Structure 1
């Protein structure tokens, strides 16, 4: 066999193998916290619009399948939402939002807030190729997201009181948790993914791990469910602006750096999901990571 024919056959083999292992590509943005107000400390609120513009242009060039925005699109609630959403709507491929605690500021009844953010539900799933993406609402049980006197507020109060008694440190006014209903829904999605041999990424606003006072109120309950399903390949969160990383029983827990921080350094990324590994290509302050499954 001639060398040219050998190389041609080798190329064809590798090409066909690659075709069977399609990569899912996702744009990632966390915590822009745009507001029409003056800078405070390291938070440059007005600068987030220019950062969103820059991120959108770059993500469009990357040809991603979709983008996930992990909460706190705005800093002081929906009054500043329109210009921020206008930036995200320039994305050529779908944008999937989740809510953060700042999105609820000055909202009397948070139950319908998801509609303003063009979300199909407060928590939902997205499927692509052999992947299931679960987008949780970790604000469901929070003082800022529930109506006074409601059953949800009472459930939050009991949960928060228990955390205070246990001196957990995450009983903070900016943290929230998920209801039993959402937890049961999540288990249904995980069972479905497992039965169909789909890999799973869980997206949250509040991190689940490590525990540093910014984790979701009932993070241990959520983690207890996740660890039962080896189809979960990573949890990706926002909320903690410096970013973070830890492994919980072999599951990568990635906290993305917040876009709001610094005057001119951006923070966004492109997530590539292959058959055997996760590649996060960070831009600006966002950390790049390569993790094998």
Structure 2
């Protein structure tokens, strides 16, 4: 396999310009040395999204109860490769008709998720706060804020919350349409100040997409992108919500959308990844099962 770096953020592979290395058909480790465990990685992060755990029968392609077994497989791999941090990019649980049912779903799946890694972060998804309120979800998982930032090993991370209606009201108690996702002005102001206060290279973590204008996109994502681009330090945005692999580059920032864990029956339809960040800013997304692998700098 021939790999050649061209420009800032692209690679040639066997003569074809690509940013994805394809998908895994099993949970076996990559044999390609490009995606072998990187001993030079400054930080290794476990990534999952759209688990939609619920104790209910399948609906269409979503197999809610199978999430626990899929998460167990991901947990074993995360422990094997010794991740430094764990991130869940939203929709940890699926919607239910009562607060008590959603709380039961959350208790069950978070018992398994929280055992994987002490340093873990939860991005709010629309299903996380369908019936629950934000403080109820966050209180149950032990996280104080829905949007915040932190530093690890010289890199800056920003967790965003787009679970707000256009009028600024937060999601909760079935008071919203899932297509009405917004980042309110208060959060935009905070984001601009937060990025201005750091010189560290930055990774943004989101649920609803910041790179598309369809129903899966944040309505005012152009406003968010302007702030990210103006900082000059944002390397990439990792997001979920649309349940598909995707990768776009806008304004010099990569927007990497990860596949949903809930989609499809059986272990072969799992999807999760590790993100390895090197000191030079190279980011390697090592995908398992249905999750595509990426590398960009």
TM value normalised by structure 2: 0.78
2:162 is matched with 138
Deviation, 1:277, is 0.9
Pairing partner for 1:191 from 196, 212, 216: 196
Q: Secondary structure at the match of 2:181?
A: coil
In the alignment, is residue 176 of structure 1 matched against residue 201 of structure 2? Answer: no
Q: 8 Å contact 1:26–1:64 — kept in the other structure?
A: yes
CA distance in 2, matches of 1:236, 1:129: 18
Q: Is 1:209 paired with 2:211?
A: yes
Q: Does 2:147 match 1:123?
A: yes
The equivalent of 2:106 in structure 1 is 81
- For structure 2, list consecutive stretches of 5 or more residues without a partner in the other structure: 1-37, 96-101
> Which residue of structure 2 lines up, in the alignment, with residue 98 of structure 1?
123
d(CA) in 2 for partners of 1:88, 1:204: 18
Q: What runs of 5+ residues in structure 1 fail to find an aligned partner?
A: 1-17, 157-171
Larger radius of gyration: 1
Q: Which residue in 1 is equivalent to 2:23?
A: none
Shift of residue 89 of structure 1?
A: 1.8
TM-score under structure 1 length normalisation: 0.79
- 1:254 paired with 2:278, answer no
2:273 is paired with a residue whose SS is strand
Residue 141 of structure 1 deviates from its aligned partner by: 3.2
The CA distance in 1 between the partners of 2:171 and 2:90, in whole Å, is 14
- SS of aligned partner of 1:103: coil
Correspondence for 2:75:
56
Change (3 A) 1:85 1:147: closer
SS in 2 for 1:260: coil
| Alpha-carbon shift at residue 184 of structure 1 (Å) | 1.1
The structure with higher relative contact order (CA 8 Å, sep 6+) is 2
Choose between structure 1 and 2: higher helix proportion: 1
Residue 275 (structure 2) aligns with: 271
Deviations along 1:112-165, one digit per CA (max 9) or x if unpaired, are 5322232121111121111010001110336771579xxxx8xx9xxxxxxxxx
Pairwise CA distance, 1:111: 4.7
SS in 1 for 2:183: coil
Q: Between Structure 1 and Structure 2, how many residues are aligned?
A: 249
- Verify the 8 A CA contact 2:164 2:170 in the aligned structure 1: no
Report the RMSD for the aligned CA atoms in angstroms.
2.2
Structure 1 residues 96-105 or 117-126, which shifts more? 117-126
Find 2:245's aligned residue among 222, 243, 246.
Answer: 243
Deviation at 1:243, TM superposition (A): 2.3
